[in-house]
Structure 1
Amino acid sequence: MELKDRLKQARKARKMSQVRLAEATGLDQTTISNLETGKVSSTSRIVQLAHALQVSPRWLATGDGSMDDNVADLKPRYGQQPDELEMLNTEVIEGNEPLRPDEVMLPVFREVEFAAGDGCTQVIENHGAQERFSLPRLIRAGVQPQNAALAVAKGDSMMPVINDGATLGIDKGSRGIQDGKIFALDHGGMLRVKRLYRMPLGRMRVVSDNADEYPEEVYAMADPDAPKVIGRVFWVENFL
C-alpha cells in the first residue's frame, strides 16, 4: 500500500471525515483529498495525521508494522525545522529495546575495505548495519524515510560543528549543491563530510570548518576524481 491507501484506510477505520481530519491536523480538506488520491505523495504532517487518527506514525509513513502498533504509547514530538542542522548531544537508546511506533530503522553508510585486502576502501550503504531513528525528527527536517541514512564522522576537519565520532543524518534525496550546506561525500572510497559551494564552469569548492588544518579544495564536478555527493547532512549527534 502507498501513503494514500494507508491514510484513507486509517481515516475510514476511525470514522472521520476529511473535513474533521483537516481540522484536527491544521491541514485543509483539499490537502487531505490530494493525499488520499495520490496527487500529493508526501507531507510533513505525518505525525500530526497519525496522532489525529490514533495510528502508528511509522506505519502511516512507511507501511512497516501494523496500523495499531503501540498507539497508546505515542507521544507527540513537535518542533521547528532548523535553518541548517538539528544538533543533539548524546541520546542513548539500548539496542535491544523494541522499535517504538515513532521510530524507523535506517541504513548506515560506512567505509568497507575491498576483498583484495590492499587497504583500498569503498563507501557502502547498509552492508547489514541499521540503526533506529526518530520518525518525528525526520519529518521536522522534511526528509522522507526512504531517503534517510546515517553515517559516522571521522576526524576533526569539521570541528567545532561536527566532532570526531559524531553520528550524522543524511538526506539522500537532497544532492544538489546548496552553498554553505554540509554534505556527505564518497571521495574515492573515503567517506568525507564537507561544506560545498558551486562555482562557475561546473566546479565546486569543498570546504572544512577547521580551515587552518584543512585547506579548501576545488574540483570540476565532471572530473572522475571529484567527490560524489551522497546527500545533505540534516542532523548531527555529537558525543561529548
Structure 2
Amino acid sequence: MYTLRLFTRNVYPLNSMFMNISGKRLRDLLDARGIAYRDFATAMGVEPQHVNNWFNRGIPKARIFKVADHLQVDARWLADGEKDSPPNQQPCTSASGQSTPVEAGSKVHLEPLSPWDDGTPLDDDEVEIPLYKEVELAAGSGRTAVREIEDRKLRFSYATMRSAGVSPSQAVCATVSGNSMEPLIMNGATIGLDRSITHVIDGEIYALEHDGMLRVKFLYRLPGGGIRLRSFNREEHQDEDYNLQQQQDQQIRILGRVFWWSTVRPLKSGPLI
C-alpha cells in the first residue's frame, strides 16, 4: 500500500523533497568521479541506506546545499536543472548573510511530492508521529473515545518540528470532522497537536476530548477556571461556555495546542467561501 508523506497513510507530504532527478544526478556524479557510496555517506554524516534512499526519492531539501557544496556543483542544477552538465555557479547572499550558489535567472519551482510505503525507512531528518482518531468503544451504544490508531503514522521533518517549537516526543496528529472551523480548518483535515501545551492561551486553537468526541476550537479563559469554546464558523456555531464543574461532568479534556493542519481537497469539492 502506497502512502504519502506527512499527512496520513493515504496522502502526500508537506515535508517537500526535490525531484527524483536530484537522486539520479547524484548517482551519476558519484559514479563519474569514482566516489564510493559508503565514502560519500560518511562525508555527509549519514548511513549508506540514506544515500540509497536519495537515489530513489531525491535529495532531501535540507541536504541539497550541503551535497552541492561537497561535490562543488550548482545546487539548483542538482535539484532540478535541465542541462546535462552543471552551469557555472553564481553566489547569492541568503538572509543569514552566507553565500549560496544559484543559477542566474532561476525561477521559482514547485516541488513534486514523494510517495512512500510502510517499508520505506525514515530519512535521517525525519520523525514519525502517531495518529489519533475518534473511535467507537467496544461497549457500543454509540459511545466514542479518542484513541491512537495502531500502525498509523505521519512523517514530519525535524526542521518542521523545530520551526513550530514542538518536541517530537510531545506531538500527535488527529483527524477532525464537522464544519465548525471552516474554512480555516476543513472537514476531514488532519491536525498536529503539541501535547505539552494544555494550559489555555487566549485565542489559540486547541484539540479537546469532550465526552468522547474530538473537537477543535479557539479557547479563552473565563473566571473561576471556566473556558469558552469558539468556532471559526460563528454563523452556524455559537460560543460555548463551561465552568469548572461542567468541564468535569462532561469530561472535557484539552489534548494539546494545534500547531499544524492540512486537508486533501477532492477535484469536485465545493468552494471554500
Asked if TM exceeds 0.5, the reply is yes
1:234 — aligned with what?
259
Q: Which amino acid aligns with 1:76?
A: A
Q: Please state how far the C-alpha of 1:158 moved relative to its aligned partner.
A: 0.2
- 110, 116, 125: which one pairs with 1:94? 116
1:151 — aligned with what?
174
- 64, 69, 76: which one pairs with 2:62? 76
Cα distance, 1:204–1:68 mapped onto 2, change above 3 Å: farther
Q: Please state how far the C-alpha of 1:54 moved relative to its aligned partner.
A: 4.7
1:165 — aligned with what?
188
Q: Please state how far the C-alpha of 1:228 moved relative to its aligned partner.
A: 0.6
User: Does the CA contact (< 8 Å) of 2:219 and 2:227 recur in 1?
Assistant: yes
Whole-angstrom distance in 2 between the partners of 1:200 and 1:147: 29
Cα distance, 1:211–1:226 mapped onto 2, change above 3 Å: farther
Whole-angstrom distance in 1 between the partners of 2:114 and 2:134: 23
User: Does the CA contact (< 8 Å) of 1:74 and 1:101 recur in 2?
Assistant: no
2:157 — aligned with what?
134
Q: TM-score, structure 2 length as denominator?
A: 0.55
SS of the residue aligned with 1:70? Answer: helix
Q: Which amino acid aligns with 1:239?
A: V
Query: What do the CA deviations read for 1:15-57 (whole angstroms, capped 9, x no partner)?
Result: xxxxxxxxxxxxxxxxxxxxxxxxxxxxxxxxxxxxxx9546x
Whole-angstrom distance in 2 between the partners of 1:91 and 1:174: 31
1:49 — aligned with what?
none
2:208 — aligned with what?
185
Higher Cα radius of gyration: 2
Cα distance, 1:176–1:92 mapped onto 2, change above 3 Å: farther
SS of the residue aligned with 2:187? Answer: coil
Cα distance, 1:146–1:177 mapped onto 2, change above 3 Å: same
The 4+ residue runs of structure 1 with deviation greater than 6 A are none
Cα distance, 1:92–1:229 mapped onto 2, change above 3 Å: farther
Report % sequence identity. Answer: 40
CA RMSD for the aligned pairs? 2.6
Q: Please state how far the C-alpha of 1:76 moved relative to its aligned partner.
A: 1.7
Cα distance, 1:220–1:196 mapped onto 2, change above 3 Å: same
Q: Any residues of structure 2 matched to 1:22-61 within 5 Å, and which?
A: 54-55=44-45
SS of the residue aligned with 2:238? Answer: coil
- 116, 123, 130: which one pairs with 2:139? 116
User: Does the CA contact (< 8 Å) of 2:173 and 2:191 recur in 1?
Assistant: yes
SS of the residue aligned with 1:76? Answer: helix
Q: Please state how far the C-alpha of 1:68 moved relative to its aligned partner.
A: 7.1
Q: Which runs of 5+ in 2 are unaligned?
A: 1-42, 64-111, 266-273
Q: Please state how far the C-alpha of 1:70 moved relative to its aligned partner.
A: 2.0
Q: TM-score, structure 1 length as denominator?
A: 0.62
Cα distance, 1:68–1:139 mapped onto 2, change above 3 Å: farther
Query: What do the CA deviations read for 1:119-178 (whole angstroms, capped 9, x no partner)?
Result: 101111344422222221111101001001111121111011100111111100111111
